[in-house]
Structure 1
């Protein structure tokens, strides 16, 4: 595993060669498999990231430590025939976020243990994120405090990594997984704020005795003006971001864009051209997966009537275990039901690893086996795949249609990141 592709992004841009890389933020095996298959087919490196809540030294909501996640991804890479030399593993939002109910000293101690676990497991890209307030902190934190804590975490990574990692820094960091409510509009980060953030981190790294590590900061998290809420998406407004983009000439790194899920292909291409060289995507991929699973579930209603539905199984599971959605989805019972299943924030993704969900999905896929699904039903319930099926690009089996749905969501990211225009 090498981070060379990330280290090359900013220097390449300064010589007129614009490139980027998608950051796949998901622990779902179908999403990871589809991403690695696309990287193999295109001959490009693949960056797969785990978040602090998803994977940490205490297990996270997936039950995986960083070492477990590494083994999990490498196993899928072997199955897909992807050379692990082209795989980059990243840790996303690494900081005290899972422990903000604790005083800052305790939360940061746990964050340091987590970063050490990520570093020891060979994660080459570390997103340092101490932007959140802990129990005894003021709100919001001062940028200098965030930079100092990020540098403390970087020092831990330096001490535990088998090879020097690259870093992502920033103080204006979007909420992991998208906004909680409807987002009406966003103001891009002010250029002077971006430059100040970089300078504060340079100083903080030096104060921690790791000044040389700042040369491996490859990305700065800023707000480009893109976001998604439960029910709406804020599209990239290129003219509005012009001032922010202009300050890249004064920075040694590129920007990392979070929450790019559901942006149009043109918007993604514009982001990369404008210097947002790392495009993070996660819920948008599992949203596409859920769409395909539910499409197959509707087809099963026709072909295999009087059987338990996947939709019903997921509704029961989410009602019995509401901790991942209850404080995020509001309104009438009908509105909450719609959000549980169809929200852009895709909080249903937290449930696919539960045994009840895995059994329901396995039962659905077993019904179809390797049968060819009738084309009219594909047109009716999986219409986005119809043209691919008719041209032979995608098979008519349930596994092929499921994989194709995720691949279709990935294509705009891979396309946007290879342009030299």
Structure 2
């Protein structure tokens, strides 16, 4: 049974730079932005939940896999995107949440986790068994990691049965940046070595044979390796394609497999384009999207300050700061430094620990008041120009309504637009060529073209 992911792999193997954006966020406005982008481009939307975000017990979002599915499907339906263009993925599925338990106990829970994901209709599953559990050697050896991943695949296949399993695509490999960005200031960052990547493939192939799932191998659609892209609180390490020249060749003999890149947040449009051209066909982005959402909401709050009497304002930024200080567990261990440095990090860090707080009831109430206030007052164009200039330009061109919610969603889409251009550069090149040909036909003999 074909998956839209298969077309990405097929085009890559044919030498055409095709990719897909993996949106790793549970925030409804981010998902809404991704759905709107897919509607405009005509392609699928891939939304992924992480193992600490969504699990069989609810994760930190309070959502189980079926709840997350219903959230994404509800937004897609409301926005008019057919559900056959919605792909759901699970990211870093494994024993990560239960590392304090023995390996057997942790893996039993990881099996239940993966089973819950595939039972709920998730069809892209990244297996991450690299985290040591209680009593494990540190670090885990490649054969142990591969054996545990094979065990989880076995559980997934048994859960859904042969017919539904044909829709599931797997991702292996665990040499990835820390989920959500580096916890500390980055030092030197180097790509995965070709030898390490080949060892990962070899060990997984052997583990599949031992677990009787050799037939699943053609449905392993991606290998995660480190292309040396990352971000910490203040710095982004940009992709350098000259450093991955040999690594790119590792999958030349794997006809159904491409690379998956994690922590691509904040990469330049040029770097994203190079990644896709170099076979990192799956580009994962999460904090970069909620970072953009914070920019948009705080910009709208600044506009609100100009328009709404003090006693009626949402004071969104103040509420967020107060709630983060009252409940510091999600940022305190990540942001070192003085009080002033921590204050700046809470609001502006690339790692965006603020994303864990948007579902707080007080913060949600302030966000709702902000949007309601600006819906009532309207957003004057000069103020929009001052705080969200790209959205201002689209409003002026008649491409976007100056509604506060639409403005916030569109600002998130600015990030997704760069990803889409990188992921569909082959089609973009064809469109550019067609435009050039049309211009040439319209041009009269001897007429000069001025640019």
Structures share fold, TM-score greater than 0.5: yes
Identify which range, 285-294 or 397-406, moves more after superposition: 397-406
Deviation per CA, 1:243-273: give whole Å up to 9, x if none: 1112231333110000000011111111001
- In structure 2, what is the equivalent of residue 283 of structure 1? 287
What residue in structure 2 maps to residue 398 of structure 1?
Answer: 404
1:170 correspondence with 2:169: no
How far did 1:357 drift? 1.3
Q: Does 1:77 align with 2:80?
A: no
Cα offset, 1:26, TM superposition:
0.6
The residue correspondences of 1:109-124 to structure 2 (distance < 5 A) are 109-124=108-123
RMSD of aligned alpha carbons = 1.4
Which of 385, 409, 417 in structure 2 is aligned with 1:379? 385
Deviation digits for residues 112-170 of structure 1, max 9, x if unmatched? Answer: 11011001111001000001111211211111111111111111111112333110000
Give the aligned length: 420
The whole-number CA distance in structure 2 between the counterparts of 1:178 and 1:389 is 34
Look up the match of 1:221. 224
Cα gap change, 1:106/1:271 in structure 2, threshold over 3 Å: closer, same or farther?
same
Give 1 or 2 for the bigger CA radius of gyration.
2
Once residues 2 and 239 of structure 2 are traced to their aligned partners in structure 1, the CA distance between those partners, rounded to angstroms, is 28
- 1:219/1:254 contact within 8 Å kept: yes
Q: What is the Cα deviation at residue 370 of structure 1? A: 5.3
Residue of structure 1 aligned with 2:244, choices 238, 241, 245: 241
Mapping for residues 145-156 of structure 1, pairs under 5 Å = 145-156=144-155
Aligned to 1:265: 269
Q: Is the 8 A contact 1:31 1:406 kept in 2?
A: yes
Aligned to 1:68: 67
- When the two structures are superposed, what TM-score results if normalisation uses the length of structure 2? 0.90
In 2: Cα distance, 1:130 partner to 1:370 partner? 50
Distance 1:308 1:285 in 2: 22
Q: Secondary structure at the match of 2:247?
A: helix
The answer to whether structure 1 residue 39 and structure 2 residue 38 are counterparts is yes
Distance 2:320 2:261 in 1: 31
Q: In structure 1, list runs of 5 or more residues that go unmatched.
A: none
Q: Greater CA deviation, 362-371 or 152-161?
A: 362-371
Matched, 1:363 2:369: yes
Match of 1:199 in 2: 202
Whole-angstrom distance in 2 between the partners of 1:3 and 1:194: 27
Aligned with 2:296 (options 292, 298, 301): 292
Q: Distance in 1 between matches of 2:47 and 2:121?
A: 13
Shift of 1:308: 4.7
CA contact (8 A) 2:314 2:367 kept: no
1:211 aligned partner: 214
1:289-343 Cα offsets, whole Å, 9 max, x none, are: 0000000111111111413510110011111111111110110011111111111
CA distance in 2, matches of 1:148, 1:351: 36
- Secondary structure at the aligned position of 1:62 is classed as coil
Is 1:52–1:97's contact at 8 Å kept on the other side of the alignment?
Answer: yes
Aligned partner of 2:90 in structure 1 is 91
Q: How does 1:301-320 map to 2 (within 5 A)?
A: 301-306=305-310, 307-320=313-326
Between 1:386-395 and 1:343-352, the stretch displaced more is 386-395
1:26 equivalent in structure 2: 25
8 Å CA contact 1:195–1:251 kept in 2: the answer is: no
